[in-house]
Amino acid sequence: MPFLRYDTGDFAIAGNGTCGCERQFSCLRSIEGRQRNAVQLRDGCIITARSLVNHLAQVLPLGGYQLHQDTTNRLRLEVFSCAVQGGATDTYEPPSVGNSDIIEKHLRALLGDVEISIQTARTRCESGEKTYPVVVNFPAPIT
């Protein structure tokens, strides 16, 4: 059977050692997400979706926000008043002005000196629609 290579746009981190099946293939330590869901900063630094989700999990529930990249220097965070996970909907208070400052500082710790706007959207989850935390709209080429 031929071995075909596909350019899937996935980001992954290589592991140490070889495959446990005793073949000489390298291992993956973790899959970090799709290229289209990564944030590319002005200095060329790439922040993967997994890094963003793990970082924001300390201040926002999964499924309760979406991060949009408008330019390499401008990001917009939409925070919803509910989160849909596995068919169950959890309702929570959207961030107040004080909490928005905490969320912005938290994001800035990961992303550095970028323009961040935080918007509250209350109607996103009323339909039970599942939300995906990282959506990158800026068509930045990641090479």
Model confidence band, residue 136 (pLDDT cutoffs 50, 70, 90): low
Domain segments of the chain as ranges: 36-121
DSSP 14-25: EEEEE-TTSSS-
Mean pLDDT confidence for 113-138: 68
Model confidence band, residue 126 (pLDDT cutoffs 50, 70, 90): low
The DSSP 8-state label assigned to residue 82 in this structure reads E
pLDDT in tens, 66-88: 888 888 889 998 887 665 555 55
Instruction: Please state which of the ranges 47-51, 55-59, 100-104, 131-135 shows the lowest mean pLDDT.
Output: 131-135
Report percent pLDDT > 70 for the chain: 68
pLDDT in tens, 22-59: 777 778 888 888 888 888 888 888 898 888 888 988 88
Which residue, chain included where needed, has tokens 């969320």? 103
pLDDT higher than threshold 70 for residue 125: no
Model confidence band, residue 12 (pLDDT cutoffs 50, 70, 90): confident
36-121 is a CATH 3.30.420 domain: no
pLDDT higher than threshold 60 for residue 138: no
Cα angle, residue 13 at apex, residues 10 and 15 outer, rounded to 5°: 135
The residue type of 8 is T
Model confidence band, residue 109 (pLDDT cutoffs 50, 70, 90): very high
